[in-house]
Amino acid sequence: MKQIKIFDTTLRDGEQSPGCSMNLAEKIKVAKRLESLKVDVIEAGFAISSKGDFESVNTIAKEVKDCTVASLARATVGDIDAAYEAVKCAVDPRIHLFIATSPLHMEYKLKMTPEQVLEKTAAMVKYAANYCSNVEFSCEDATRSDYDFMCKVVDAAIKNGATVINLPDTVGYSSPAEIKAMFEYVIGHVENSDKVEFSTHCHNDLGMAVANALASVQGGALQVECTINGIGERAGNASLEEVVMALKTRRDYYGADTRIDTTRIARASKTVYKIIGQSAPLNKPIVGKNAFAHESGIHQHGVLANKLTYEILTPESVGITENKMVLGKHSGKHAFEARLKELGYELTPEELLSAFEQFKALCDKKKTVNDLDIEALVSHDAIDTEGYSLVRFDVHAGNHTTATSTIKLAHGDEVIEDVALGDGPVDAACNAIDKIVCPPEHTFDVYTINSVSEGKDTMGEVMVKLKANDKTYTGRGLSTDILEASILAYLNAINKLNAANK
């Protein structure tokens, strides 16, 4: 059985895609999930790209103990210096440098000749290897490169100290048979290719990222680069959960497996979706709500007779638990804590206390509190930011009145109140918040509302995305009152916007 390494780039390739930006606390939370998932490598960011990115790569490098931590770098001295500076405190630091090798990228983007790219590769890999014994080198746009030229570049990278060679399908152009053949060709034509690990990194522009990643494994790749929920540039990257479960489910075919603790997949997926303000499409493989639902009579009949008729993997194997309605008004803190543990949540005593208080408050408003409600409370609480908090709100609205909202917010020791009109109650409330906070200029990009579980008394979860200077700030609000959820979500996003622009 081949052991395939999982290189997670949710925090780099995923985070750099539109609408997926995360703040430091959120990135650390994701890194912790990735560590407990047992990914082999966390690409924590692109250290040179901003002060914030440097800080987050550096913090993750310090905090994560059980994974290699990598920073991306272009093939330049400045990028490599910053990458090493950011990851050097990691238990196992890696510098990941890249340069494009396709004719199109070399001529129009880099404005370099193939010879210059070859020289640059040799010099920069050598420079990085002086810092660090773990150097990954990527031929950007490998699948559209001339394979013989790419072999020369890979050869130069290996001779100068690269330990991992990545051949990405940067624009999602390849097909499974083609990418498998590319790996076989390069591995077969480069001297010492057996001394390094080959890696694949597939984008999903034609919907083939996962298939291409798996075909690369058949072609000899020993590392797969992927992201939670498949987030990433444009149509995204190969999704970690799909690659991992395909390898596990079809071990007989691929003869390969990973060290991932698959029972933690559902939680990692939810965490990332919540942070970026999205939810899984219903039919998303592995983590979508319908992934294990059997609606049709024929399927139900088959599953009842023998699960294997229509179920090739179990919900339990990816950490999806049955939605048991076990807790209510009279449940004590121990029962609450025990249920959280069963759901995979380990909270600090302070977090537990706060979650329990919210749970009790929810029991007063809602007849039954189920796992979905509990998970929503816990994950919500954990990502709240500092800043302004809601003291009270009043809204007057109707189909023949102009909506008015009075909002009272606390900020440190100060309590401030203001009133505003708006085009509906949510708009009026947001206008009143703007009058109090005077946030940096932004546009209101996305507003979504979802019910957490079933029933008229369910909690509403609102996601708000604000855009400022090409960055997205995602806020979430949770309440059985959807106006309150909307106000909390807007405030959460405004707090993040303020914090980032201090």
The phi and psi torsions of 306 (rounded to 5 degrees) equal -160, 120
Q: How far is the CB of 109 from Zn ion (least distance, A)?
A: 15
* 119 contact partners, CB below 8 Å, separation of at least 6: none
d(CA 311, CA 286): 12
Query: For the chain, what's the residue count?
Result: 502
The site map against ligand KIV for 179-218 (x = CB under 6 A) is: ----------------------x-x---------------
Q: In this complex, which beta carbon is closest to Zn ion, that of residue 13 or of residue 15?
A: 13
* CA distances to 300, 371, 376, 395, 471 from 362, in Å: 35, 13, 12, 22, 34
Q: In this complex, which beta carbon is closest to Zn ion, that of residue 9 or of residue 358?
A: 9
Q: How far is the CB of 215 from ligand KIV (least distance, A)?
A: 17
Q: According to CB under 6 A, which residues from 315 to 354 bind ligand KIV?
A: none
**β-strand pairing of 223-226 with 197-202:** parallel
d(CA 61, CA 156): 29
The residue range among 6-14, 138-146, 274-282, 353-361 that interacts with Zn ion, by the rule CB under 5 A, is 6-14
Q: How far is the CB of 165 from ligand KIV (least distance, A)?
A: 11
The DSSP secondary-structure symbol of 440 reads: P
Q: Which does residue 58 touch among ligand KIV, Zn ion, none (CB within 5 to 8 A, set by kind)?
A: none
Q: In this complex, which beta carbon is closest to ligand KIV, that of residue 238 or of residue 491?
A: 238
d(CA 487, CA 376): 17
The dihedral built from the CA positions of residue 296, 300, 302 and 307, taken in this order, carries a sign that is positive
Q: Return the beta strands (E) in 384-430 as ranges.
A: 389-398, 401-411, 414-422
Q: How far is the CB of 100 from ligand KIV (least distance, A)?
A: 8
Q: How far is the CB of 125 from ligand KIV (least distance, A)?
A: 15
Q: In this complex, which beta carbon is closest to ligand KIV, that of residue 166 or of residue 404?
A: 166
Q: In this complex, which beta carbon is closest to ligand KIV, that of residue 136 or of residue 375?
A: 136
Q: In this complex, which beta carbon is closest to ligand KIV, that of residue 162 or of residue 320?
A: 162
d(CA 66, CA 264): 16
Q: How far is the CB of 72 from ligand KIV (least distance, A)?
A: 6
Residue 137: enclosing H or E segment and its boundaries? strand 135-140
Q: According to CB under 6 A, which residues from 157 to 176 bind ligand KIV?
A: 166, 168, 170
Binding-residue total with ligand KIV (CB under 6 A): 10
Short-list 275, 274, 494, 469, CA closest to 387: 494
**One residue of 68, 101, 138, 472 binding ligand KIV per CB under 6 A:** 138
Q: Which does residue 27 touch among Zn ion, ligand KIV, none (CB within 5 to 8 A, set by kind)?
A: none
**One residue of 4, 6, 12, 13 binding Zn ion per CB under 5 A:** 13
Q: According to CB under 6 A, which residues from 57 to 76 bind ligand KIV?
A: 72
CA-based radius of gyration for the chain: 25
Q: In this complex, which beta carbon is closest to Zn ion, that of residue 97 or of residue 426?
A: 97
**One residue of 5, 7, 13, 44 binding ligand KIV per CB under 6 A:** 13
Q: In this complex, which beta carbon is closest to Zn ion, that of residue 138 or of residue 262?
A: 138
Per the CB < 8 A criterion, the answer to whether 175 and 208 are in contact is yes
Through-space distance between the first and last CA atoms of the chain, rounded to whole angstroms:
52
Q: In this complex, which beta carbon is closest to ligand KIV, that of residue 236 or of residue 425?
A: 236
Q: How far is the CB of 166 from ligand KIV (least distance, A)?
A: 6
**β-strand pairing of 2-3 with 256-257:** parallel
Q: In this complex, which beta carbon is closest to ligand KIV, that of residue 46 or of residue 54?
A: 46
Burial class of residue 302, CB neighbours in 10 A (0-12, 13-18, 19+): middle
The DSSP secondary-structure symbol of 459 reads: P
Short-list 501, 471, 462, CA closest to 380: 462
With binding defined as CB under 6 A, does residue 98 bind ligand KIV?
yes
d(CA 146, CA 102): 7
Q: According to CB under 6 A, which residues from 278 to 307 bind ligand KIV?
A: none
Binding-residue total with Zn ion (CB under 5 A): 1
Footprint of Zn ion on this chain (CB under 5 A)? 13
Residues in contact with ligand KIV by CB under 6 A are 13, 72, 98, 138, 140, 166, 168, 170, 201, 203
